[in-house]
Amino acid sequence: MCSLNKELPIVIAHRGAAGEAPENTLAAFQLALEQGCDAFELDVHLSKDGQIVVIHDFSVDRTTSGQGAVNQLTVEEMKQFDAGAWFNPTYAGERIPTLEEVIAMTPAHIQINVEIKGGIGQGMEEKLVELLRRMNRTASIIVSSFHFDCLRTLNQLEPSLRVGLLYDLNLKDYALLPKAAGVDAYSLHPLFMRLEAEAVRAAVAQGVAVFPWTVNGEEGMAAMLEMGVSGIITDFPGKLRKLMEQ
């Protein structure tokens, strides 16, 4: 997910600027843009009526005024729920966005890391590829998932689509993992606390990008920058941008 016209590393706004705005809402993505991010990270599920919606959990309970499983609710039903007031009353009125709505408000030079959470093997992969082709945004997206089956399917459906392996384990040789997983991977997305400099060097030397998550403190950010990662996924893109400018 290299930024097209900027030097590495890139600033990737986790669920938008989720530290300062309600996660995975248009307000959070807008704030991330204002804070100078290079890319958004967001999470997707399929709704009951087969649309790709942007929300982290499998239910709407934690981040909206509604209740229920995402895949048992239509988009129209979910749009009734408030997705901002739980975070701060000033954000009342925010809604769960569809992926199409997020892409539509995203400037062409900003990339999107779509993390597939739900709908795997149930039409998500096909619908995602169809949407990206229809919106002509295949080139500016990287799709990540903890579920490597899903990434293998995407490799077959659209070989040009960049995919990234998500890890929360301490795996020593990240550079070997795409082959081992049978995925033609563009990037590795490791949990930052368990990342080692040697693994970053090995991956980057082989042309595999490394995007650690979710790095919110200045100490962690500085450590990742020192390791030479390709980009940093953070809830505080403004803080990271300032640190990088120092």
Q: How far is the CB of 76 from Ca ion (least distance, A)?
A: 25
- Build a one-symbol-per-residue string for 80-109: x at contacts with ligand G3P by CB under 6 A, - elsewhere: ------------------------------
Residue 73 CA to residue 79 CA, distance in Å, equals: 10
Q: How far is the CB of 53 from ligand G3P (least distance, A)?
A: 15
Phi first, then psi: give them for residue 141, nearest 5 degrees: -115, 145
- Of 20, 43, 82, 235, which one interacts with ligand G3P (CB under 6 A)? 43
Tokens of 90: 């000033």
Please report, for residues 16, 54, 216, 224, the alpha-carbon distance to residue 219 in angstroms, rounded to integers and kept in the order given: 21, 30, 9, 9
189 forms part of the interface with ligand G3P (CB under 6 A): yes
Residue type, 202: A
Closer Cβ to Ca ion, 93 or 106, answer by number:
106
41 forms part of the interface with ligand G3P (CB under 6 A): yes
**H or E, element range at 190:** strand 187-190
Closer Cβ to ligand G3P, 41 or 158, answer by number:
41
Residue numbers annotated as active site: 14, 56
Closer Cβ to ligand G3P, 41 or 82, answer by number:
41
